Amino acid sequence: MESINRGKAWIPCKETGAWTSGEIVDEQGDSVIVLVADGQEISIHKDDLKMQNPSIQEGLDDMTNLSHLHV
């Protein structure tokens, strides 16, 4: 499993089935610790999260420039 750079990620919410935004704060083997908006730190397997595009890419007109679509 390759290393994940810290940044923003989407994680699934078990209660609602929706995706929650969070900030990756630590990496532990095949899992990462994600800090979500309500202050909780959630441990999740790397395969279960989706990376968000960096804020520098917000507002791009051409979707081919979005880095996480081309992994």
Q: Which domains does the chain have, with CATH numbers?
A: 1-52 (2.30.30.140)
Q: For residue 37, what are its two tokens?
A: 């908006």
The whole-angstrom separation of Cα 10 and Cα 15 is 15
Dihedral (CA of 37, 54, 27, 43) sign: positive
This prediction has a pTM of 0.68
pLDDT at 1: 45
Instruction: Please write the tens of the pLDDT for every residue from 22-58.
Output: 999 999 999 999 999 889 999 999 999 888 866 655 5
7 contact partners, CB below 8 Å, separation of at least 6: 23, 24, 51, 52, 54
Q: What mean pLDDT is predicted for residues 5-13?
A: 85
- Residue 59 pLDDT more than 50? yes
Amino acid letter, 59 = G
Q: Are 71 and 57 in contact (CB under 8 A)?
A: no
